[in-house]
Structure 1
């Protein structure tokens, strides 16, 4: 079954999409220039062949371990978690006895102490992911796990470590060079939120036995036309990523300040969190952008959907469905009359009915909506979705006139946190910190 974007309820007739559609030639030329200069590895995936070899070479190594502890934050963790939840749900189910992936993506003392107390060091591989090698939330945990491994494994501590970082520079690359730790590179110009289909996300996927080849192939199927040196404006205009980018930019012009990512594939719920970072960190700049709002069907029908349908009319929706989810067990036939409508029907029919009802209700309430209907909930479709949304985000940023690849405001928060920890330098940040902390606070008990 094909993968489809349903534009029927996208409100294209009320949006000024022509303003952006006519820029297809300009965007095609820019794509040619940027991909030709090696600036968009998310689209060109020049690392793919070597990555396949590297991953193949890791298989025997990873088989030695029962646990993987992934140290990473933001784009270094969100994609891996989305893949884990989508394609390795049994870790969250009763009786699990296979490999286990644990993701340390926060400054969480409770979780870290639990890992140190309960994970078996000899059967655990610690994977640290940081392109720069300077992300303190991640590298700080690396310092602690390094000492933990030394305490249990002695001189062999490095054999249970794997680093994913810059190929040539940074603190973690120095650790690779000094201790001979296994390492895979994060490709140049590949930002964290675009990196799930690199070693960043595919090492944990491989550990859990996922079909990483299908993930990569699905993404390449979508993005390859955008990286074609012969790309024309006409070809780009017909590409779904460009159409989504045009829609996203035109929505903002009409005051649609929130973009709901409503997932009606339950195991894929964490893709909403992955998309939220992708869209927000890429497009939330210079007083512009639309706020991504992850939502899960049917759970959020009973909570935030009230706001979506009857609150401020500033919301649009990407609605993710798959009509071919498992059917599941059948409802009994001897149900009370008030539930007669489900007698003998398959449990899986319910989510399809709920999804249809919610989609129709949102559209009836005036919410512009594009349904992303997948032919299967498989790794290939996940790769296609990642490729589609990543490319659409880049193109939407360009149409908006902003850089979708940086995150300047995030960097300010990082510098202020380092100032709080008394890192060297940062005189301006330390002065701001002192002023902030010395301000009289309006404190009231509750």
Structure 2
């Protein structure tokens, strides 16, 4: 959602990307009113393959469109961990699967198949996005161009600041803001040993 919102003007075709990310019957019905089955491909995305909301939405889509099991491979693609429940179900049903790398946590998976596959299907230049991400990675970790981060860290620790404020002055960043909030909340809420992550 964050990538789609930020890259809105960068598409090469008219394909639309709808995101069903909760089981609200109101948003589910409103979204499906805009969809023609024959023109649609559904990406079912769950790292573990057992996320209850995702599994529920998958079943609701089957029921809504009155699909039989032999038809599913025509309309669905799974993005999940290798050997997850979803992967095994995909194999049984003949549904194409893309995999999330095992060492990438779900909330950090935006540049894996989770983000890239939907963007490619919708005509975005995923190659340019990945090249930009690689350049940022190299600047920061290889060329050590992290001066602004060092200054921010120094300022925060010097002032004993422990509050993080994120300002975005564009609607295009709404999805990014939601992702960032989730990322911080999930990271700070997890422990590794006795230490909090994040």
TM-score bucket (shorter structure) = 0.7 to 0.9
Instruction: Give 1:263's aligned residue.
Output: 168
Match of 1:132 among 35, 48, 52: 48
Q: How big is the shift at 1:146?
A: 2.7
Instruction: Give 1:155's aligned residue.
Output: 70
Q: In structure 2, the residue corresponding to 1:196 is in which secondary structure?
A: helix
Per the normalisation by structure 1, the TM-score is 0.39
| Structure 2: distance between partners of 1:257 and 1:227 | 25
Does residue 173 (structure 1) correspond to residue 84 (structure 2)? The answer is no
Match of 2:184 among 279, 286, 292: 279
| Structure 2: distance between partners of 1:134 and 1:105 | 14
On the 8 A contact 2:100/2:113 being kept in 1, the answer is yes
Relative contact order (C-alpha < 8 Å, sep 6+): which is higher?
Answer: 2
Q: In structure 1, the residue corresponding to 2:196 is in which secondary structure?
A: coil
Instruction: Give 1:182's aligned residue.
Output: 96
Q: How big is the shift at 1:240?
A: 4.8
On the 8 A contact 2:72/2:95 being kept in 1, the answer is no
Instruction: Give 1:112's aligned residue.
Output: 28
The alpha-carbon distance between structure 1 residues 183 and 245, as it changes in their structure 2 partners (threshold 3 A), is farther
Alpha-carbon RMSD: 3.2
Q: In structure 2, the residue corresponding to 1:102 is in which secondary structure?
A: coil
Q: Deviations over 1:181-236 (max 9, x none)?
A: 011001112112211111101122112211111111111112236666xxxxxx65
| Structure 1: distance between partners of 2:16 and 2:68 | 21
- Equivalent residues in 2 for 1:77-92 (5 A)? 81-88=1-8
State which structure, 1 or 2, has the greater radius of gyration over its C-alpha atoms: 1
| Structure 2: distance between partners of 1:116 and 1:267 | 23
Q: In structure 2, the residue corresponding to 1:263 is in which secondary structure?
A: coil
Q: How big is the shift at 1:163?
A: 0.3
| Structure 2: distance between partners of 1:241 and 1:283 | 23
The alpha-carbon distance between structure 1 residues 249 and 140, as it changes in their structure 2 partners (threshold 3 A), is farther
| Structure 1: distance between partners of 2:16 and 2:166 | 28
Per the normalisation by structure 2, the TM-score is 0.82
Instruction: Give 1:213's aligned residue.
Output: 127
- Equivalent residues in 2 for 1:323-338 (5 A)? none
Q: In structure 1, the residue corresponding to 2:38 is in which secondary structure?
A: helix
The alpha-carbon distance between structure 1 residues 135 and 285, as it changes in their structure 2 partners (threshold 3 A), is closer
| Structure 2: distance between partners of 1:209 and 1:241 | 34
| Structure 2: distance between partners of 1:244 and 1:146 | 52
On the 8 A contact 1:122/1:153 being kept in 2, the answer is no
Unmatched segments (≥5 aa) in structure 2: none
The alpha-carbon distance between structure 1 residues 166 and 278, as it changes in their structure 2 partners (threshold 3 A), is same
The alpha-carbon distance between structure 1 residues 285 and 164, as it changes in their structure 2 partners (threshold 3 A), is closer
| Structure 2: distance between partners of 1:129 and 1:245 | 35
Q: How big is the shift at 1:248?
A: 8.5
Q: Post-superposition, which runs of at least 4 consecutive aligned residues in structure 1 deviate over 6 A?
A: none
| Structure 2: distance between partners of 1:275 and 1:180 | 35
- Equivalent residues in 2 for 1:14-413 (5 A)? 81-88=1-8, 98-149=14-65, 151-152=66-67, 155-167=70-82, 169-224=83-138, 236=144, 239-240=146-147, 243=150, 246-247=153-154, 250=157, 254=160, 256-284=161-189, 402-404=196-198
Q: How big is the shift at 1:273?
A: 1.7
Q: Deviations over 1:4-62 (max 9, x none)?
A: xxxxxxxxxxxxxxxxxxxxxxxxxxxxxxxxxxxxxxxxxxxxxxxxxxxxxxxxxxx
On the 8 A contact 1:165/1:186 being kept in 2, the answer is yes
| Structure 1: distance between partners of 2:147 and 2:174 | 22
Q: How big is the shift at 1:162?
A: 0.6
Q: Deviations over 1:118-139 (max 9, x none)?
A: 5211111111100100110111
The alpha-carbon distance between structure 1 residues 227 and 210, as it changes in their structure 2 partners (threshold 3 A), is same
